[in-house]
Amino acid sequence: MLQLMQTEAEDIEVRPLRRDEYQQLGELGFFEDEKVELLEGVIVKMSPINEPHNTLEAMLNELLVKAVPQKPMVRPQCSFALSDISEPEPDLAIVDRTGLFASSGALNTEHPSRAYLIVEIAWSSLKKDLGLKARLYAQAGIADYWVVDVDELTITVHRDPSGERYKSVQRFDRFARVPALLVPEVVVCLDELTH
């Protein structure tokens, strides 16, 4: 994504923003009225969310919370430390609950960087979720990444990350029962959610 910009006079190298700098800007109130995330060192506006997206997210969140065993935790729309230059906010992530606390028992100040499952719910962000974000999640070694298409009511499941891509990408229709790879208690059928 980051590349040299061509100008008539010279090539200009772009320096990516680091996660710690991004967080400092947030703490200073730079993004108060904006919904943004950091992807490959670039501050990216998040797509607007429509009501079908909200409804699917709420239903999936409810299902995941009920299905997930004690140790993991469901985190809706929370920051995720993907790399030194990427901090997306996936719609849903299942993470290890124990990693959220420091050794003292206090809440950890770092965002989770490992996940059992990451789910992006896509309406206007489908291209980004299936393209750029899939590449970034693969690079980070996320073993189970799902993209739920709001319009088509499908789940595209990405597994077996290798470099910048997933070796296994499968698309399931609304009637399929899709089990999570690392949390087998989680099985999602979009048709059952909507009835």
Tokens 């920051």, residue located: 79
User: CA nearest 135: which of 155, 113, 163, 114?
Assistant: 163
Domain chopping of the chain, boundaries: 47-193
Instruction: Report the pLDDT value the prediction gives residue 161, as an integer from 0 to 100.
Output: 98
The yes or no reply on domain 47-193 and CATH 3.40.640.10 is no
CA distance 65 to 192: 16
Q: Where are the beta strands (DSSP E) in the chain?
A: 5-6, 11-12, 36-39, 42-45, 72-76, 92-96, 117-122, 144-149, 154-162, 165-172, 178-179, 187-188
Instruction: Report the pLDDT value the prediction gives residue 195, as an integer from 0 to 100.
Output: 76
What is the distance, to the nearest Å, from the Cα of residue 40 to the centroid of all Cα atoms in its chain?
14
Q: Indicate the pTM of the whole model.
A: 0.88
Residue pLDDT, tens place only, 89-113: 999 999 988 766 776 777 777 888 8
Return the sign of the alpha-carbon dihedral for residues 146, 123, 112, 74. negative
Largest CA distance in the chain: 61
Instruction: Report the pLDDT value the prediction gives residue 36, as an integer from 0 to 100.
Output: 94
Count of CB atoms situated within 10 Å of the CB of 38: 25
